[in-house]
Structure 1
């Protein structure tokens, strides 16, 4: 399906992302589709360090922050070093928390997982990342942007640039092909989706079959839409933007360091943003940020 703007069509696939270097952390890193070719660097003493964060989420079971990263899933309390879950070094290009100890992911097999396909498709954990079960699209798809709302999984496949939707985590409906960095789904309407594109925030009201750029919207790379009156985005320079009218208008708040990689919200006012150097936290809806975890 066509993706419409008032001035020009949005870029399809992933080619446009290379023009904006900072987007590489969010979209392009490790998108070659091979499991064995990925580098998983160890930190001091052979331990695996948290790096290249691709997804953040707060686990309702313990109100603790979890990150899906190039080196696996980590539990992050802000006190001491992040804890790699189950010693599993796997490249989680897609990661989202959907309930108590319930995570969904996608990406690539780890360096020792010779029995796993390069592209993991949709995988699921119901024990806070201790174990993972393949659900669908194994060996076929590498989701980078992922959302779970209205009992649906929304995923953007980096291999094809296709937006895909599933109501049962097994069968999938392919929607439009579009170049994007992140997606957010309306808390009120399963058919309303926002996408961050090179031309600004684009909106779909038909479940991702067509998108149109919102007039006057900022160019963002990350989005989170926790409630009907709260939408949070981050631009390539790390400036935080908030909207209380579903993305019609935006207000700029504080700025974190460059190279933002992932975002999540928690409660009414909390925001976590991962960059290439630290995870930042705000408890005033983006008015100010402090370092939660140095990386």
Structure 2
């Protein structure tokens, strides 16, 4: 079957469902200077710039055990170190596309092996139980490319971008195929996995049968969705406008505009704690989007 593409994708948008290829204009991720260590200052007394890397950002997550931020990128999983600089977790330089924190130190992901690997092009579903230090194949190795993952009540949902297909598993091993749709991102009600929403060219489409079928897209167009609580579904559009829905996506209320331009990823940890990656930074809000603090800086740079 030919690879699935999103016909409505904006050329400038790097999304969770975008193909994970290296291209000019890749994002340059660097830590903010706040609180950086002064060790190793140059002969002129200036503090060296914090460590940085060139990589696309595909996902964000927070470990509920220690509150640590994790950033899924084209070249591995990163987390801020003691100085606030991004540090590679483990030694994997794989391309992590779909990414979600499923529990304490428990991550689910998908993507592609690093260049030069002899592994199949698509990871299928992989799982880490040590906060991203190591990964094991759970299922569908070489058979699925999940560019978006979510979970609720023990049920795992994955959007297989190569087929434009929503797939569901209760154990991470055996999968059921659900609806085919042209979606950019999706989210599941954390208390009722029968309720699923997806971003489409026509707006947010809703399902009440676990993604077996979806109604037409309607309402504001969104890039990314994250469902924190049953009455706190967050969405961000391509301008960075953040909105919240208290009725499962039927109606929306704009709460703020996230700094930094177009979004790259969105994760709502709870009804007040939100993380958004945009063109110039990863921003965090702990008041439901009323205010944001930059956690990491992002600037455009060439990637070769």
TM-score (norm 1): 0.86
Distance 1:223 1:43, change over 3 A: closer
Q: 2:20 aligns with which of 30, 37, 54?
A: 30
What is the aligned partner in structure 2 of residue 3 from structure 1?
A: none
Kept in 1: contact 2:283–2:293 (CA 8 A)? yes
Q: Quick one: distance in 2 between partners of 1:267 and 1:175?
A: 27
Q: Quick one: distance in 2 between partners of 1:239 and 1:232?
A: 11
Task: Decide which moves more: 251-260 or 173-182.
Answer: 251-260
For residues 3-50 of structure 1, the C-alpha deviation after alignment (integer angstroms, 9 at most, x for no partner) is xxxxxxxxx9523134x224443322327xxxxx999999999x8726
Kept in 1: contact 2:15–2:184 (CA 8 A)? no
Matched residue of 2:8: which SS?
helix
Q: Name the structure where helix makes up a greater proportion of residues.
A: 1
What is the aligned partner in structure 2 of residue 57 from structure 1?
A: 61
Return the offset for 1:213.
3.0
Matched residue of 2:90: which SS?
helix
Q: Where do residues 162-241 of structure 1 align in structure 2 (5 Å cutoff)?
A: 162-213=165-216, 215=218, 217-241=219-243
Kept in 2: contact 1:38–1:111 (CA 8 A)? no
Gaps of at least 5 residues in structure 1 are 1-11, 32-36
Q: 1:15 aligns with which of 6, 19, 27?
A: 6
Matched residue of 1:130: which SS?
coil
Kept in 2: contact 1:181–1:197 (CA 8 A)? yes
Kept in 2: contact 1:185–1:192 (CA 8 A)? yes
Q: 1:87 aligns with which of 85, 91, 97?
A: 91
Q: Quick one: distance in 1 between partners of 2:244 and 2:163?
A: 30
What is the aligned partner in structure 1 of residue 119 from structure 2?
A: 116
Matched, 1:144 2:147: yes
What is the aligned partner in structure 2 of residue 155 from structure 1?
A: 158
Matched residue of 1:17: which SS?
coil
Kept in 1: contact 2:164–2:180 (CA 8 A)? yes
Q: Quick one: distance in 2 between partners of 1:54 and 1:229?
A: 26
Kept in 1: contact 2:151–2:190 (CA 8 A)? no
Kept in 2: contact 1:70–1:92 (CA 8 A)? yes
TM-score (norm 2): 0.83
Gaps of at least 5 residues in structure 2 are 31-48, 299-304
Return the offset for 1:264.
1.0
Q: 2:128 aligns with which of 119, 125, 128?
A: 125
Q: Quick one: distance in 2 between partners of 1:180 and 1:168?
A: 24
- The alignment covers a number of residue pairs equal to 275
RMSD: 2.6
Q: 1:249 aligns with which of 239, 248, 251?
A: 251
Distance 1:41 1:26, change over 3 A: closer
